[in-house]
Structure 1
Amino acid sequence: MKIKFYSRPNCSLCNDGLLVLKMVQEDVEFDIEIINIEDNEETHEKYMLMIPVVEKEGKIVQYGNLDYVTLLESLQ
């Protein structure tokens, strides 16, 4: 399974969120595709007020303050 993680450089909330996502990855097997929203204007417009965003199979699992329990339950 591949999980998309929308982020941007110099985003401390994104860095924290990625750490939480990697902790979940220790319990659930999946690959993380990190997407810089600044690389695409449409993606930037869509997610600029939401990042970090975790997406599974085209659906947003969680955004903003990511927490272990919600991600674990959503990604199992």
Structure 2
Amino acid sequence: MTKLTLYTRANCPLCDKAKADILDIKNDIEFELEEIDINSSDELTEEFGLMIPVIYIDGEEIGYGIVNETYLRNRLQEKQRNHIS
């Protein structure tokens, strides 16, 4: 199954928007969602800092900051097709 990882933090409006978009997409496309608060680790805070939200699909970074829902949906559909094939 495709795994989407969302790196986020509290009090981040862009993170909230990204998560809402992801949950909307999840209604149509099956994938595993893992949300990680970068404040839980100094290393993550240093790595991602102000880039959040950061989205990975199956370990590949596919976007950060303002998330394009259509692009994200298309990437997840592509991954889903590849997992089925």
Is TM (by shorter chain) over 0.5?
Answer: yes
Task: Compute the TM-score of the two structures, normalised by the length of structure 1.
Answer: 0.91
- Alignment partners' CA distance in 2, 1:75 and 1:42: 28
1:46 corresponds in structure 2 to: 47
Letter matched to residue 8 of structure 2: S
1:73 aligned residue: 74
Greater helix share, structure number: 2
Report the structure number with the largest CA radius of gyration: 2
Partner of 2:26: 25
Task: In structure 1, list runs of 5 or more residues that go unmatched.
Answer: none
Give the number of equivalent residue pairs: 76
**TM-score, normalised on structure 2?**
0.82
CA RMSD after TM alignment = 1.0
- After superposition, the C-alpha distances for 1:12-47 in whole angstroms (9 at most, x for unaligned) are 110011001111111211121110001111111111
Q: Distance in 2 between matches of 1:37 and 1:21?
A: 18
Percent identity of paired positions between Structure 1 and Structure 2: 34
Structure 1 stretches (4+) deviating beyond 6 angstroms?
Answer: none
